[in-house]
Structure 1
Amino acid sequence: MNTYVVITLAIIAGPFLLSFDKRVGFHRHWLQLGISMVPVSATYLLWDVLVTEQGHWSFNPTYAGSWKLFGLPLGEWLFFLVVPYACIFILEVVRAYFPKRTYSDIGRVRTYAGVLLVLLFATGYLFRDQSYTLLALLATSVWLALTLIAQPGLLGDSHSLWFFLLSIIAFLVVNGILTGLPVVLYNPEAIWGVRIASIPLEDLFYNISLLGLYLFSYETVGNLLRRKGTR
Structure 2
Amino acid sequence: MSLYLWLHIATISFPLVRSFEPRIAYASRWKALFPGIILTAGFFIVWDVIFTKGGVWGFNADYLTGLFLFHLPIEEWLFFFTVPFASIFIYDCVIYFDKGNRLNVKLSWLATLLGCLLIILAALNIHRDYTFYSFLFAGLLLLAQGLLLKPAYLGHFFVAYLFHLIPFLLVNGILTGGVTEAPIVWYNNAENIGIRIWTIPVEDTVYALLLLLMNITYYEFFKSRFGLKHN
TM-score, normalization: structure 2?
0.90
Distance 1:195 1:145, change over 3 A: same
Pairwise CA distance, 1:103: 6.8
- CA shift digits 1:149-195 (9 cap, x unpaired): 1143233x2x3232111112211111011002311010111111110
Cα offset for 1:66? 2.6
Map 1:16-165 to 2 at 5 A.
16-99=16-99, 100-102=101-103, 106=106, 109-148=107-146, 149-155=148-154, 157=155, 159-165=156-162
Distance 1:127-1:217 versus aligned 2 partners, 3 A rule: same
| Alignment partner, residue 170 of structure 2 | 173
For the 8 Å contact 2:135–2:206, the answer to whether it is kept is yes
Q: Give the number of equivalent residue pairs.
A: 223
Q: Structure 1: which 5+ residue stretches go unaligned?
A: none
Distance 1:93 1:137 in 2: 27
Q: 2:55, 2:103 → 1: CA distance?
A: 43
Structure 1 residue 216: Cα displacement? 1.1
Letter paired with 2:153: L
Q: Percent of aligned positions with the same letter in both sequences?
A: 34
Q: Answer yes or no: is the 8 Å Cα contact 2:125–2:131 preserved in 1.
A: yes
TM normalised by structure 1 equals: 0.90
Compared CA separation, residues 134 and 6, structure 1 to 2 (3 A)? same
Q: Which residue of structure 2 aligns with residue 189 of structure 1?
A: 190
Stretches of structure 2 lacking an aligned partner (at least 5 in a row) = none
**CA–CA separation in structure 1 for the residues paired with 2:49 and 2:108:** 34
Q: Distance in 1 between matches of 2:41 and 2:150?
A: 20
